Structure 1
Amino acid sequence: MRVVVAGGSGFIGTHLCTELDDRGHDVVALSRSPGDADLPDGVVEKTGDVTDYDTLVGPVESADVVVNLVALSPLFTPDGGNEMHDVLHRQGTENLVRAAEAAGVDRFVQLSALGADPDGDTHYIRAKGRAEEAVRSSELAHVILRPSVVFGEGGEFVSFTKRLKGLFAPGVPVYPLPGGGKTRFQPIWVGDVAPMIADAVAEDEHRNETYELGGPEVLTLREITNLVYESEGKSVTVVGLPMAMAKLGLTVLGALGFPMGPDQYRSLQFDNTTDDNDVDAFGVSEADLTSFAAYLGVADESD
């Protein structure tokens, strides 16, 4: 099967391309800057920009499946401002869908996000929701995957927790977290997510389905922060930062060009957890998944 992976040189993309290559598929990694990623020799790298339809036509031609992993991080304000979420996520998905339809692609796999909603509270969530609408309204058989935050080597989730401290409490021995760090996440390891996406590429039972994917446990931002520092042999004293103060701080800093702003404040006001974890649809249980603590080396897999 010939699989074109848009965003194939990114964090999740490199893991997925490796997984697909290991399974014997013909894989094309599509990115704006091919050659930058550490990919298996069998993976073909091609140039393609989802914001430029003409660059997608050739690479997508003769593909059996197109996987769209192209995304901006919700953790930071993108270069160009929050409007870039709509440009890359919605318009980019529309372009890739159109190219896939023109090529007669059999299936389109969309990596979305938990809480994706065209009327959601942040630019990221709204753009992801509108991208899902573009996929569902197309002529293509599709699979939509909505993971919680994905962590692993090359990801930014661990460094994000440290960056928050540098923002709110540089050089002091306490860590003021917005709202006391009560926002809940269900982090899932990239090594667990990639095989699920690969299954969605090839298995017929996943056609036209939408799945929410989360890790084996729900953790608050406070618990995540403590685990990150524990893994480095450090301790940190977490104190609550009133949400009103966090809103003011992020709004002011965002206006000054700091890569976090009101959208990041709003994202901390709702949990990033599944309503019904669908990992069992891919033949695994939550108990089979790698926990955040185990990944950091501060807990045994048996814990």
Structure 2
Amino acid sequence: MTKIIVTGAAGLVGQNVIARLKSDPSLSIVGIDKHPTNTALLRRLHPEIEVIEADLAVEGTWMDVFAGADAVLLNQAQIGGLDEREFIANNVTATQHIVTAMRRHAVSYFVHISSSVVNSKADDFYTRTKTTQEKYIDTVTDIPHVILRPTLMFGWFDRKHLGWLRRFMERTPVFPIPGDGKFIRQPLYVGDFAAMIISSLRSQKTGTYDISGLEQIHYGALIRLIHDTVKPRARIVHIPYHLFWALLFVYGKFSANPPFTTSQLEALVIPETFPVIDWPGIFGVTATPLSSAIRETYLDAHYSSIVLDF
């Protein structure tokens, strides 16, 4: 039986990979995560696998589970927050400890989940620590591995981005779109990304790959696609950009935790496009058409209603 360890197992990517891997009777899966609520959810959703709640930034008995492992999905990440120490701990220190455990127990292969931000000019805690993390992984020449750099994703268990927008449609009578809504987006379906990870684990592919969605779509059209799929109570309304900005500015003065901010609006209207590689051919997977991916994400009888804790 092949033993696979998944770190960051209770997050967006981990949950999706495990949901698709667990039906294979030839696999023994161990999921490790430190988030108590999401780890409890992981254990409830996937009783077939072994789940360990542990902080990977702290060396401990969790390292012993790497004994006998055939492959590792190195996937834990600190994505948001205000404390730089959390980013260093989860993105850098934890990664070093995982590599130590892999070397100690002679694990022969791993998949590392990096991020498209390592190619960006952004300068924030996430970008800096993910860049440091990938540079460290590049020094791990004694263990074959593949590095995958995904863009922002949507799909089952999505608590942010499109997942948040879809839930907002249910809570409000009006869903505003700034201006004409013609801001290019290139969403990546996490189901397809999970398929690439699984393909890599099975074939032990090596190299570094930038992974983005294959289809470009205007933001307004994407929102209408979601709206037409889930048929929420909200009515879509276009609002002039400057009026939208002013309304958010005023609202932000009276709310300690606004659902949407002026800085997010400014980022929203910037075209978001990425280079495309032939990842269906490279990884031997079938790309899910965007409309089908939206239906799978929001209409699946088992997983569409599940939301991870922040």
- Closer/same/farther in 2, CA of residues 14 and 270 from structure 1, 3 Å limit: same
Equivalent in 46, 49, 55 of residue 49 of structure 1: 55
Whether 1:241 and 2:241 are equivalent positions in the alignment is: yes
> Percent identity of the aligned residues?
20
Aligned residue pairs: how many?
282
Tell me whether 263-272 or 148-157 shows the greater mean CA deviation: 263-272
Contact 1:146 1:211 in 2 (8 A): yes
Q: Deviations over 1:219-246 (max 9, x none)?
A: 233332222223233541233535x959
Equivalence map 1:153-192=2 (5 Å): 153-156=156-159, 157-161=161-165, 173=174, 175-177=176-178, 180=181, 182-188=183-189, 190-192=190-192
Alpha-carbon shift at residue 16 of structure 1 (Å):
1.6
**CA offset digits 1:18-70 (Å, max 9, x no partner):** 43333322211112244431444431112322221325422223322111222
Deviation at 1:179, TM superposition (A): 9.7
- Cα RMSD after superposing both structures: 3.7
* Matched-pair contact (CA < 8 Å) for 2:186–2:214: no
Q: Helix, strand or coil for the counterpart of 1:19?
A: helix
1:132 is matched with which residue: 131, 134, 155? Answer: 134
TM-score with structure 2 length normalisation?
0.73
* Counterpart check, 1:145 vs 2:148: yes
Q: For the residues of structure 1 that align with 2:198 and 2:261, how far apart are their CA atoms?
A: 35
1:137 Cα deviation from its structure 2 partner: 1.2
Task: Give the equivalent residue in structure 2 for 1:84.
Answer: 86
CA distance in 2, matches of 1:55, 1:245: 51
> Structure 1 residue 22 and structure 2 residue 29: aligned?
no
Superposition pairs for residues 228-267 of structure 1, below 5 Å?
228-233=226-231, 235-241=235-241, 245=245, 249=249, 256=256
Task: Using the TM superposition, give the Cα deviation of residue 134 of structure 1 relative to its aligned residue in structure 2, in angstroms.
Answer: 1.6
Give the distance between the partners of 2:261 and 2:123, measured in 1 at CA.
13
CA distance in 2, matches of 1:68, 1:107: 10
Q: TM-score, normalised by structure 1?
A: 0.75
Secondary structure (helix, strand or coil) at the match of 2:274 reads coil
Which position in structure 1 is the counterpart of 2:97?
Answer: 95
Deviation at 1:197, TM superposition (A): 0.7
Contact 1:112 1:128 in 2 (8 A): yes
SS at 1:116 equivalent? helix
- Work out the CA distance in 2 between the residues paired with 1:88 and 1:153: 23
Cα gap change, 1:296 to 1:275, in 2 (>3 Å): closer
Tell me the amino acid that sits aligned with residue 152 of structure 2: V
- Seen in structure 2, the aligned counterparts of structure 1 residues 58 and 108 have a Cα distance that, compared at 3 Å, is same
Shift in CA distance, 221/84, structure 1 to aligned 2, threshold 3 Å: farther
The structural deviation recorded for 1:187 is 2.3
